Chain A
Amino acid sequence: MNRREFLQLTGAAAAGGALSSCTINPEKLIPLLVPPEDGSIPGVADYYASICRQCPAGCGIIVRVSEGRANKIEGNPLHPVNKGKLCARGQAALQALYHPDRIRQPLKRTGVRGSGEFSPVSWEEGLSLLAEKLKGMKTAGARKGMIFFTPELQGTILQLVKAFTEHFNGMHVPYESLSLESHRKASVDVYGRYELPDYDIGSAQYIISFGADFLETFVSPVRYGDAYGRMRRARPTVRGLFTYAGPRMSMTAASADSWLPVKTGKEGILAAGMAGVILDEELYDGPALNIYGLNVSELKAAMADYPLKRVAEETGLTERDIFSASRDFARLRPSIAIAGDTVAHQTNGIDSIKAVHLLNLLTGNFGKQGGVRFSPKDLKQTASSYSKLLDTIDDMSGGSVRVALFHGVDPVYALPKTSGFEKALGKVPFIASFSSFQCDTTRQADLILPDHTDLESWGEVIPSIGGDIGVVGTVQPVVRPVHNTLAFPDALLSLVKTEGGKVPGISAYGDYPAVLKEHIRQASGHKPGADFERVWTKTLQRGGIFKEDSKPVKSINRSGKFIFTVPRKAVFSGDEKQFPFHLHIYPSAIMFDGRSAHLPWLQETPDPMTTAVWGTWLEINPKTAGSLGITHGDLVEVESPAGSIRVPVVIYPAIRSEVMAMPLGQGHRNFGRYAAGRGVNPLDLLETVVDKENRLPALGATRVRIKRISKKGGLITAGHPDGSYRGELLEI
């Protein structure tokens, strides 16, 4: 026996011994002598269902928790919105919980406002300080002395915030920086529905998107991402087709089969022109038009001044491209036309969205599988109103506002500088914020009462689009609070209680989790008792109440008639001669509107189109850049009638020559170490109101001029700009 044989034999014997002992199935050699108090077992992970709140889409999540620490967020496969999937922002949400710059306890301002000098106070002290300021508000007479700024809320939290503001004679101002107001207004006019339409992309044969970046930021990107995959490859014989119309090729547009680089503000004209082609070619669904109360000759008359030739001229496209897109749209049914943020944020936004919806009506795609759908119940959410928000600025500078409260919004960052919000806020005697981070607004606060982060809170989320599904997602704490924070609803309840007041329908249940439980009980239709306890546990385990309702709304129930007109001409701030370029501001695929900029994983995730990290940039067409003597990475000054900023340049091959694009998301002055002082905020270039008539926000209605400053723009990209032109990869 040589050495090798000996080793083999002994090895086999040892392995055999090990194997035979395995079959006895040793359960637990040493049971835990002192089991952990929270019931967790070391080395064994627990999974909790909750809801992601990085954007209003309301995707279901499952959080993996090991020994009391949250380690990983996954999509909840049971949740009908995202079906187990999650986007980059959802994946990164974990870092908000363990962020090193979270506000760890209540803080009171000690230095001058905005200096960032705070000292810790106890919760009793903090709450009583705010209670003192709110005292007497009730008797302050007719004038609203308190304003409460929040994002769009729903359910119990909305009830609570409303009751709270009423109790203290205040005003609740909900606000979303990517406002869906124009979409809602158009939806009411066309469909008689207040809620946003849901699009059944997965079953469609043809999709045309007018600036709707539904794979990255628009309304519910994970839901639509999943549907997009199915549209392409889930059917054995059909590969759905996709066309994108917009002045800049977005990440969503990169996936399209064809891109129509339509001029800024002319998207609605394009949609109207396509409707004209469908009418002329008689490709419309006649019976459907009757049901929708539309008349072919009236529609034709409305389009009389816009023959295809004129549409092509105005939009900057070829007649052939418009014609073939119209024909594909009408023939490859079911088809969907979607209008998105960059269309809505023009001064003719509402008109344009209506023109896009007309396409859906013409081909009878309403209420169909693979078409435009609404849920049976019209969800009357409290929508934000830009106009109302602007009014508060006047109120604040007028001195009638004595207390301003903020939760979950950062208007100092998210409103154009020209709005004067920050200055007006300076006139408010007392500012309190419930934020978990020192965002630009919270920095101005006199008192910070930090809320738990999403993974430590109770709550409920109704997804921003329901479509054919009835969903209430439940938010539950997955870990114990990391810091000395207090749940925001409980802080409100305690403030009302200190005043000796009661919130009708809420105070009776005690703390907020009990309120939520009661609300879910009512929504589930169960009687209180052991039976409901089981349902409640089950609901939390599943992550909400999901009632799949496959009965879409078939009829349009609007009060008046939908009178179609060709969209008006878009108005722009800035003279065309002085400011030759359009500024195209879009929500970042990675940072969204900026609310996720504090998360380091996202800061270092390359932007899909430019591969840029840790900053902002300006996208310029190569020919334009060449004529201006600008190259990749140069620092330029972008100037608009409202202001100027300096930003590095990315040479971007897929943008119109007269358009320059910038992502939202960076340019926070504060907001933790990873976001503070990084990049610039393109909102600094905007006028507050361009659309005087509707008083709606218009991110895309500004003209700019640019000037090269130096070659040191500080641009960082993950990919090499020259290495990315690879003709041989065209086939994919």
Chain B
Amino acid sequence: MSKSKSNYKWGMVIDLDRCTGCSACVVACQAENNVPVVGEERSAEGRMLHWLRIERYWDGEYPHVRARFIPVLCQQCDNAPCEPVCPVYASYQTPEGLNGQVYNRCVGTRYCANNCPWSVRVFNFHEPEWPKPLNDQLNPDVTVRSKGVMEKCTFCIQRINRGKMKAKEEGRLVRDDEIQPACAQTCPPGAIIFGNMADKGSFVFRLSRSSRRFRLLEDLGTEPVVIYLKGGGREGA
């Protein structure tokens, strides 16, 4: 665990019992973070740039078949495998527990993506295109990345910073629910909960203690801060 003295430790809980797979978060993330589309041909090459994707798993055979959805985004690991392999320190751990990515340091070795067990880092193989006037929709708070740069989920760092600045101006800490990444804000069934894990009273911290909790590829020991909650059962938990 990091020995950060920060008041904040950003974390997320994704309740799979609420998640319906609707993909609203996928588009919300693209819209907030200036994630371009790559087109049909490059999609076929597997070069889509989504920071957040919905994994769909099948289990069983007809008629006893089930489909399950898992939204997968950067797990913001405490012991992140992507960080130590970067030769130019473009990927690093922020004091608030995020796996930061410094775009203007990135030289495009793609070692980090290679080392990420969740495949949530995406690389700009081509210059992103925003045919005019589509570029007018770009979020001015977020850098537009260029060819040769690795990018990834930031937990909407621009929103975190805006929230922290506002709190600082008012001489207080960020309130629970004050900052929401785009995915959590739009999620219709309220499956994605974001907040400060350092605050033991926060909703996200309380949810993360649920008996339904698990983490993706937990056995790798990378200490992700994204906690998933299992669904199912006939009773509430």
Residues of A bordering B, CB below 8 Å:
43, 66-67, 69-75, 82, 84-92, 94-95, 97-100, 215-216, 221-222, 225-226, 228-230, 232-233, 235-239, 241, 249, 251-252, 254-255, 257, 259, 261, 482, 589-590, 600-606, 608-609, 611, 613-615, 621-623, 653-657, 673, 678, 716, 718-719, 724-727, 729-732
Contact = CB atoms under 8 A, between A and B. Distances in A.
A230 B17 CA distance: 10
19 contacts: A74-B186, A100-B131, A221-B22, A225-B188, A225-B189, A230-B190, A233-B15, A235-B236, A238-B235, A239-B233, A255-B20, A255-B21, A257-B232, A606-B23, A623-B62, A653-B58, A653-B62, A729-B70, A732-B16
B54 interface: yes
Interface string B51-68: 001111111111101111
B69 A604 contact: no
A574 B53 CA distance: 40
Contacts of A622: 61-62
A219 to B, nearest CB: 14
Interface residues of B, number: 69
Contacts of A716: 40, 43-44
A89 B23 CA distance: 9
B137 A87 contact: no
Contacts of B50: 718
Given A94-B31, A239-B236, 10 more contacts: A85-B24, A88-B24, A97-B137, A225-B20, A249-B67, A254-B20, A600-B37, A678-B40, A725-B57, A732-B230
B21 A732 contact: no
B210 to A, nearest CB: 10
B203 to A, nearest CB: 13
A72 B31 contact: yes
Among A97, A482, A606, A730, chain B packs the most CB atoms within 10 A around the CB of: A606
Nearest to B207: A233
Contacts of A255: 19-21
B27 A92 contact: yes
Given A87-B24, A233-B17, A254-B21, A606 B133 contact: no
A603 B27 CA distance: 11
Given A237-B235, A654-B67, A606 B137 contact: no
A223 B31 CA distance: 21
B43 A100 contact: no
B157 to A, nearest CB: 15
B20 A228 contact: yes
B150 interface: no
A226 B67 contact: no
Contacts of B200: none
Contacts of A91: 24, 27-28, 30-31, 186
A71 to B, nearest CB: 5
B185 interface: yes
A656 B63 CA distance: 8
For the complex of A and B, 5 pairs with smallest distance between CB atoms: A229-B189, A225-B188, A254-B67, A100-B131, A91-B27
A98 B133 contact: yes
Nearest to A237: B236
B108 interface: no
A238 B40 CA distance: 45
A243 to B, nearest CB: 13
Contact of B59 (A86, A100, A611, A725): A725
A95 to B, nearest CB: 7
